[in-house]
């Protein structure tokens, strides 16, 4: 009797939104999958880093090869890891660049694979382009009864390539139909029958953990013949064209975003039916009130005290930035995001400032910088500098990047207080 093929389970973090706390002790995942083009690594870093305690291996998905070495280094450093166990590259990337990136990553990457190739012919072409079949150790593809590529599965089996099974329930659109027709236990078992590693969506961590426990119980067990499928299928639920476009009002600007599930305050929302207009309103540069001439500059404030200079510097960097020639818009946003974060850390010292980040859709990142209140002066005479909050956003629109500060009311004047303590 044929046994289940599965050797490990994997939690997919690419669909996680908002801050995700550290993992609960006892989580049953053998692998954790992060995605560079998902641009949520800032939000999930505590969650991903915590899995080091359980020995969970890291799988990273990237959609480009041009400049991948630097991008991967930024990604793993941000999520608190030292290296990537499996690096999955989109099949449509420029694989001619793979050789130099393999050398550049060195020990930071233990194994490589292809993300969602369409056919055996495409895999063979990639291997031929790379010049070696030793690089491709894994192939990740969707595996469920209604999206099933038998030829690719047989090719992997015959050539010793391990299979990472994606979307066992069908994905965001197809899951309700598939679950109704086949049930969750059958769908998980189907993926476990053909996959070495089965990937579970992280949209719902409670159900994900339960699904992983179920899959772990199938390891080495007899499967019977209920999961045998002798032909390929391709019947996903088709998506629909966008009819309503969303934006939000922030101060005197209107900023578009592309997350259909995000619902903000009613007075902030802008909904447009049909074709979206060019919503981003260009504003004149605003200067923060000048600081007192006798002020002592705090550590980390040399450049950041005048935000306009920092914004100008950031936009200049974004305009000259090398973006991956084979990357999609999400990958380009990731590259810009990493460079911007490096610049923020240089200009706003962590000893003085704390940072908070959030993604609004795929193309807008909010940046909140908070300075703790401090006292400065000598002996009994102290000048109190109130805490300061500065809000910025990074927007990707029509292939270009815009970085701006959102101004609140003018900064309060410094309050002078007498003190007898240091």
Strand order in the sheet with 374-378: 374-378, 381-385, 415-418
Q: Alpha-carbon distance 398 to 329, whole Å? A: 9
Give Cα separations from 359 to 89, 189, 253, 265, 367 (angstroms).
Answer: 23, 35, 17, 16, 9
Separation of alpha carbons 8 and 199, rounded Å:
9
3-state SS class at 27: coil
Query: Could you give the dihedral angle defined by the CA atoms of residues 258, 343, 280 and 371, in that order, rounded to the nearest 10 degrees?
Result: 90
The CA dihedral of 188, 189, 190, 192, to the nearest 10 degrees, is 90
Residue with tokens 């207009």: 277
CA 74 – CA 42 distance, rounded (Å): 11
Helix (H) or strand (E) holding 201: strand 197-201
CA separation for the pair 223, 85 (Å, rounded): 29
Domains and CATH numbers, the chain: 8-234 (3.20.20.100), 240-283 (no CATH), 299-418 (no CATH)
Within the chain, how many helices (H) and strands (E) appear? 10, 20
pLDDT (tens place) for every residue of the chain, 422 residues total: 589 999 999 999 999 988 888 876 556 799 999 999 999 999 999 999 888 888 899 999 999 999 999 999 999 999 999 999 999 999 999 999 998 888 899 889 999 999 999 999 999 999 999 987 788 999 999 999 999 999 999 999 999 999 999 999 999 999 999 999 999 999 999 999 999 999 999 999 889 999 999 999 999 999 999 999 999 999 999 988 999 999 888 777 788 888 888 888 888 899 999 877 665 655 444 455 444 434 333 334 434 446 788 999 999 999 999 999 999 999 999 999 999 999 998 888 888 888 888 888 888 999 999 987 766 666 556 666 667 888 899 999 888 999 998 875 444 333 333 333 33
* Stated pTM of the model: 0.86
């Amino acid at each position: 009797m044929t046994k289940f093929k599965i050797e490990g389970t994997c939690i997919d973090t690419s669909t996680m939104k908002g801050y995700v706390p550290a993992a609960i002790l006892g989580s049953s995942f053998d692998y954790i999958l992060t995605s560079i083009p998902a641009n949520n690594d800032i939000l999930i870093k505590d969650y991903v880093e915590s899995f080091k305690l359980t020995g969970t291996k890291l799988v990273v998905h990237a959609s480009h090869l041009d400049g991948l070495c630097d991008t991967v280094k930024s990604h793993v450093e941000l999520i608190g890891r030292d290296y990537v166990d499996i690096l999955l590259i989109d099949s449509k990337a420029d694989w001619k660049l793979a050789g130099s990136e393999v050398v550049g990553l060195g020990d930071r990457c233990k194994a490589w694979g292809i993300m969602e190739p369409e056919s055996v012919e495409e895999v063979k072409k990639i291997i031929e382009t790379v010049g070696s079949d030793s690089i491709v150790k894994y192939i990740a593809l969707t595996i469920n009864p209604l999206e099933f590529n038998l030829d690719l599965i047989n090719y992997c089996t015959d050539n010793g390539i391990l299979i990472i099974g994606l979307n066992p329930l069908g994905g965001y659109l197809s899951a309700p139909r598939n679950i109704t027709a086949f049930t969750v236990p059958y769908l998980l078992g189907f993926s476990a029958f053909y996959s070495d590693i089965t990937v579970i969506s992280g949209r719902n961590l409670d159900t994900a953990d339960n699904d992983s426990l179920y899959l772990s119980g199938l390891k080495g067990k007899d499967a019977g013949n209920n999961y045998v499928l002798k032909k390929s299928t391709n019947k996903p639920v088709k998506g629909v064209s966008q009819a309503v476009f969303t934006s939000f009002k922030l101060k005197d600007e209107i900023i578009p975003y592309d997350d259909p599930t995000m619902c903000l305050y009613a007075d902030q929302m802008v909904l447009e039916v049909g074709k979206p207009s060019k919503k981003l309103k260009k504003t004149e540069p605003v200067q923060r009130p000048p600081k007192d001439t006798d002020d002592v500059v705090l550590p980390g404030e040399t450049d950041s005290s005048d935000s306009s200079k920092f914004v100008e510097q950031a936009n200049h960097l974004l305009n000259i930035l090398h973006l991956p020639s084979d990357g999609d818009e999400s990958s380009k946003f990731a590259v810009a995001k990493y460079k911007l974060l490096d610049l923020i850390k240089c200009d706003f010292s962590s000893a003085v400032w704390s940072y908070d980040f959030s993604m609004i859709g795929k193309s807008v990142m909010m940046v909140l910088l908070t300075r703790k209140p401090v006292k400065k002066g000598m002996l009994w005479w102290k000048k109190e500098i109130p805490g300061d909050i500065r809000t910025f956003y990074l927007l990707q629109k029509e292939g270009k990047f815009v970085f701006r500060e959102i101004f609140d009311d003018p900064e309060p004047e410094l309050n002078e207080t007498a003190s007898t303590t240091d």
